[in-house]
């Protein structure tokens, strides 16, 4: 056997060993790096969700998922904000005093929010858990009162909520929409799932 044949055999063996070692290292590294991300179970249990609201325009709503439920972020216009006081006599719990859900202290106001222009609410009806639809345009519309001020309407059983997620009186839904814990990391970055005190 020549010396060249022995060197080629060693080369093949060396390259194969290095390749297998690289594959093994990658197989170990991928799960290790992935472990830094919250698991699906942790996210479902309540891991916080960062939301970039920089592209949201006045009058628009975006939906993100937190704890397996839809969370609405509504950028309210000045007209929407003005309507909140006008509708209070028609609401079942305008001050969120019933507190079936643990309402954060900073949401115990007319806006039910930290910043008046942004509503952050869990988009699940408090009656049977359907998701209400956005009906922001005021006025006469099919299935709504002639003097509809704008808000949210649940198509399942007809519950209606104002633009702060407060339920109108004499509706099937017994309570206002839930306000999740949240905070602003910057003017355009929202963190859903954690209060500032946490």
Candidates 52, 49, 47; CA nearest to 189 is: 52
Structure tokens at 118: 């942004």
Q: Is 182 considered catalytic here?
A: no
* Alpha carbon distance 25, 35 (integer Å): 16
Residue 164 CB: number of other CB atoms within 10 A?
30
Write the DSSP string, 72-134: EEEE--HHHHHHHHHTGGGBS-TT--S-SS---GGG-STT-SSSTTEEEEE---TTTS--PEE
CA dist., res. 45 & res. 14, Å (int): 48
Percent helix, strand, coil in the chain, to 5, is: 25, 20, 55
- Active-site residue, from 111, 127, 157, 182: 157
CA dihedral 97, 83, 163, 184 (to 10 degrees): -80
For residues 20 and 15, give the distance between their C-alpha atoms in angstroms, rounded to a whole number: 9
CB-CB neighbours of 146 under 10 Å:
7
Which positions are annotated as active-site residues? 157
């Amino acid at each position: 056997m020549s010396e060249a044949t022995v060197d080629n055999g060693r080369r093949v063996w060396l390259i194969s060993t290095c390749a297998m070692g690289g594959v093994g290292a990658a197989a170990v590294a991928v799960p290790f790096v992935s472990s830094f991300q919250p698991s699906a179970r942790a996210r479902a249990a309540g891991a916080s969700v960062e939301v970039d609201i920089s592209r949201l325009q006045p009058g628009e709503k975006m939906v993100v998922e937190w704890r397996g439920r839809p969370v609405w972020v509504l950028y309210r216009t000045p007209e929407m904000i003005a309507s909140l006081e006008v509708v209070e006599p028609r609401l079942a719990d305008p001050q969120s005093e019933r507190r079936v859900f643990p309402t954060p202290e900073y949401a115990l106001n007319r806006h039910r929010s930290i910043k008046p222009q942004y509503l952050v609410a869990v988009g699940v009806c408090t009656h049977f858990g359907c998701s209400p639809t956005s009906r922001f345009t005021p006025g006469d519309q099919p299935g709504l009162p002639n003097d509809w001020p704008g808000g949210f309407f649940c198509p399942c059983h007809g519950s209606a909520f104002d633009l702060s997620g407060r339920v109108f009186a004499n509706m099937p839904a017994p309570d206002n929409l839930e306000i999740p814990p949240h905070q602003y990391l910057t003017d355009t970055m929202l963190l859903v799932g954690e209060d500032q005190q946490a």
